[in-house]
Amino acid sequence: MFNIVTFLKNLIYNMLAIFSFGRKKLSNTLSIYVKTNTGNTLSVDLEPHMDIKVVKEMVAPQLGLMPDELKIIFAGKELSDTITISECDLGQQSIIHAVKSRPMPVRKLPNGSKTLLDVKISEESPEEIPSTSKPLCETLSDLQLTEVNEKQEPDQTKVRPKAHFFVYCSQCAKVCTGKLRVRCSICKSGAFTVHRDPACWDDVLKKKRITGHCENFDTPCVENEFGDPPFTEFYFKCAEHSSGGEKDFAGPLNLIKTNHKDVPCIACTETSDIVLVFPCEAGHVSCLDCFRQYCVSRLLERQFLEHPAGGYTLRCPVGCDNSYIEDVHHFRLLSKEQYERYQRFATEEYVLRNGGVLCPQPGCGMGLLVDPECRRIQCQNGCGFVFCRQCLQGFHIGDCLETPQPNAGTSLEYSIDPLRASEARWDEASKIAIKVTTKPCPQCRTATERDGGCMHMVCTRSGCGYEWCWVCQTPWTRDCMAAHWFG
């Protein structure tokens, strides 16, 4: 009897221990990898409330250094000691870099003088060196966009959707929210700090726009024999699954945006949280469902067009000039079957454009590149069908028989009302949202004019120097950097 009671007690204790272990797994602990410039990688478990100073104290002894000898770098910025893990927007298995602090390297200029390699003089104030004490724009986490009318009561504040970057993730096989990251364009290391924040999509998508400082080796990477700093390479990662390291990346969808301006869809006139903004001058807006319908209707009618920069693509449905979608990742919004058809049609168009023919046998469609004078064609590596090049019927001797061609009708599946087109404009919504070109500094009320660049404003009045957000008109914070970094 005693043995049975003891057995039952032990069983209950073991079950409680298992349940307790399971609860611990539900905590907010993050498993983070710390890479050093010596090539070592450490694994640490961090809690959201911990600050970077604590991280340095955990990592430094394993590297044989003192905490104040370390710099922690993440997504192009050095993190200060007071920043907490929750502010960094780290996900499971994210990578941060720990490098030994060292004096700034110097290089000789052609005239024999020396300059600091990783200091870039601010264009707004040539006499001042920009501070590196604001390292939060690397996080790119969500921002709760709010627009407050000064005449309204606080309880009437309208809450806007959160702003995101959007990517196509091949691992998730769908459109996901994304995060922007940086690395050295030469050695591809993430132990890299940028000299300035990007101010537009071109800064991110085009090469050699922004320089930075590489911390990966004792001798930092340089661009040329003059010792010029290397350029920043931007890339995107999916925010909806655990990080796969620095080689994990996703295709950016720069035309898909959070609809914080409440612009109606050009087709259905509904206002959606996420929209696609066509790259035309007017910036016509479509909800994602209507964009899919537009793509499918044009795909079934084979009305996609070949564009030198965009490949097999579409333009704004209104017919605007210079409005072709240049990044075909946006057509990943189609279903798997529809996207496979899109790829097949693109291949076929390439074959036809280069003087080839397509096998007319139902279910085949193999593209064949043959001599222009050849009339008898056999489908090679396909169904083996032998056909006449001129009439696409089975091969025959003599003249081809005329076959009736179907009438090409006009598509009624996707049409645009001119009145809708005049209302569904992204740029027009911007003009309504920002009616003035100057805004007062929230601290000293000095009129400030923005003529480009990012939304991070610094008051130029002597003795003020207040840092604020052009969109929110509040103190410049991590959230503002996340959503208003470059527009």
* 164 contacts: CB under 8 Å, gap ≥ 6: 142, 177, 178, 239, 258
Eight-state DSSP code of residue 349: H
> Is 454 a known active-site residue?
yes
Query: Rounded distance, CA 117 to CA 444, Å?
Result: 36
- Burial class from Cβ neighbours inside 10 Å (0-12, 13-18, 19+) for residue 249 reads middle
Q: Of 137, 265, 290, 454, which one is the catalytic site residue?
A: 454
Eight-state DSSP code of residue 51: B
Q: Tokens at residue 35, please?
A: 């890479």
CA 142 distance to own-chain centroid: 13
Eight-state DSSP code of residue 478: H
Query: Rounded distance, CA 388 to CA 374, Å?
Result: 9
For residues 454, 458, 459 and 463, what is the CA-based torsion angle, rounded to 10 degrees?
-170
Radius of gyration of the chain (CA): 29
SS3 category, 69: helix
**β-bridge mates for residue 194, sequence order:** 212
203 HSE (CA, 13 A, CB side): 17
- Sign of torsion, CA 245 246 252 257? positive
Instruction: Give catalytic residue positions.
Output: 454
